[in-house]
């Protein structure tokens, strides 16, 4: 667990998220503020409408906008080299310790190649291997409690910016068809994610309800998305249960089931069991 200080109210809180900015009490307020900013931008006319014609600031040619984040014509977008922002060294110093690992000559590339084949960074691979070793040798971890997180996901063939525009919600995570994964492969489907709730509740239906609450007033918009695009709605539930603890109740409430019925949303429960030896 990582300790953070809420940027809105100053409350100290703990979460599995290494870069969390807001506590559970301010998270919705912050999202509402982002939604208002997006709505104001759209109302003021600064938001670029998909399908409109714009002038490329680089070459001066007219181009048709195909996504909300597009700033240049296709030719200039392909040729423009964007500089990567430098890592936040202050954040890294405050949240991570640095360990140097020496490996035999020639092993570095092998480890790197293997990590990529598993869809991981080398750092993630080493941490995963260490965790598995600790589990095998009965290491007493501080993160010994059960956990669960839920989120709403739209998957299919579409432009994520169009979903953002129709729902008026800025996604927590999204990608387009053709975007690259960290391991170099490309996504063959688009994804739009919102409503993550990682505040564990033994009655998981409460987490599900928190996730779908922002969408309860947008059912008509969700139905429009279903009709307009080739998409699939999913309420994702990911519990990790410690075998030594009580089993959480993962049954959805009537309100959650009604929402799923109204929007043709499927519930996907991806259950993990951490067995204590």
Q: How confident is the prediction along the chain (277 residues), in pLDDT tens digits per residue? A: 678 888 888 888 887 777 788 887 788 888 888 888 877 877 776 667 777 888 888 888 888 888 767 788 888 887 765 544 455 566 666 667 778 888 888 888 888 888 888 877 888 888 888 877 766 655 444 445 788 999 999 999 999 999 999 999 999 999 999 999 888 899 999 999 999 999 888 889 999 999 999 999 999 999 999 999 989 999 999 998 887 777 788 889 999 999 999 999 999 999 888 776 5
14 and 106 in a common domain: no
265 and 222 in a common domain: yes
Residue 213's pLDDT is 95
> Which of 112, 136, 160 lies at the terminal end of a domain, its last residue?
136
Residue 78 CA to residue 63 CA, distance in Å, equals 14
Contact, 43 vs 57, CB < 8 A? Answer: no
Residue 56 lies in a domain: no
Residue 115 lies in a domain: yes
Residue 31 lies in a domain: yes
Crossing angle between the packed helical segments 219-228 and 254-263, to the nearest 10 degrees: 40
115 and 15 in a common domain: no
From the number of C-beta atoms within 10 Å of its C-beta (0-12, 13-18, 19+), residue 58 rates as middle
131 and 158 in a common domain: no
266 and 163 in a common domain: yes
> Which of 31, 47, 63 lies at the terminal end of a domain, its last residue?
47
Residue 220's pLDDT is 95
Residue 72 CA to residue 49 CA, distance in Å, equals 14
Domain that includes residue 13, residue range: 1-47
> Which of 136, 160, 186 lies at the terminal end of a domain, its last residue?
136
pTM (2 d.p.)? 0.49
CA dihedral sign of residues 66, 51, 161, 63: positive
Residue 158 CA to residue 228 CA, distance in Å, equals 9
Q: DSSP alpha helices (H): ranges in the chain? A: 27-44, 74-79, 89-95, 107-117, 122-136, 160-167, 204-212, 219-228, 254-263
Contact, 141 vs 134, CB < 8 A? Answer: yes
Residue 226 CA to residue 230 CA, distance in Å, equals 7
Residue 183 lies in a domain: yes
268 and 166 in a common domain: yes
Residue 212 lies in a domain: yes
> What 8-state DSSP symbol labels residue 198?
-
What's the CA angle centered on 69, arms 64 and 73, to 5 degrees?
40
Residue 141 lies in a domain: no
> What 8-state DSSP symbol labels residue 217?
T
Residue 206 lies in a domain: yes
154 and 121 in a common domain: no
176 and 260 in a common domain: yes
Residue 84 lies in a domain: no
* Locus of tokens 């009537």: 254
CB count in 10 Å sphere of residue 30: 15
Of 22, 26, 4, the residue nearest 14 (C-alpha): 4
155 and 209 in a common domain: yes
110 and 17 in a common domain: no
CA dihedral sign of residues 116, 121, 123, 127: negative
User: What is the tally of structural domains in the chain?
Assistant: 3
């Amino acid at each position: 667990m990582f300790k953070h200080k809420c940027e809105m109210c100053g409350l100290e809180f703990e979460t599995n998220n290494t870069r969390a900015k807001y506590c559970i009490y301010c998270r919705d307020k912050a999202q509402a503020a982002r939604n208002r900013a997006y709505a104001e931008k759209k109302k003021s006319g600064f938001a670029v409408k998909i399908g409109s014609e714009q002038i490329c600031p680089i070459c001066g040619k007219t181009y048709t906008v195909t996504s909300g984040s597009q700033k240049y014509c296709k030719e200039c977008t392909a040729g423009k080299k964007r500089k990567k922002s430098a890592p936040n060294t202050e954040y890294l110093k405050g949240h991570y310790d640095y360990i140097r690992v020496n490996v035999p000559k020639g092993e570095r590339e092998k480890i790197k190649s293997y990590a990529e084949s598993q869809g991981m960074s080398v750092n993630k691979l080493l941490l995963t291997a260490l965790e598995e070793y600790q589990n095998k040798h009965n290491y007493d971890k501080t993160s010994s409690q059960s956990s669960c997180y839920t989120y709403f996901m739209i998957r299919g063939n579409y432009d994520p910016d169009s979903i953002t525009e129709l729902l008026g919600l800025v996604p927590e995570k999204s990608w387009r068809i053709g975007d690259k994964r960290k391991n170099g492969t490309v996504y063959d489907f688009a994804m739009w994610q919102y409503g993550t709730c990682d505040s564990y509740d033994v009655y998981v239906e409460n987490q599900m309800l928190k996730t779908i609450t922002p969408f309860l007033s947008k059912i008509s918009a969700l139905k429009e998305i279903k009709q307009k695009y080739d998409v699939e709605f999913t309420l994702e539930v990911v519990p990790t249960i410690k075998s030594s603890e009580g089993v959480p109740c993962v049954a959805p409430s009537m309100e959650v089931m009604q929402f799923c019925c109204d929007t043709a949303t499927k519930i996907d429960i991806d259950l993990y069991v951490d067995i204590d030896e």
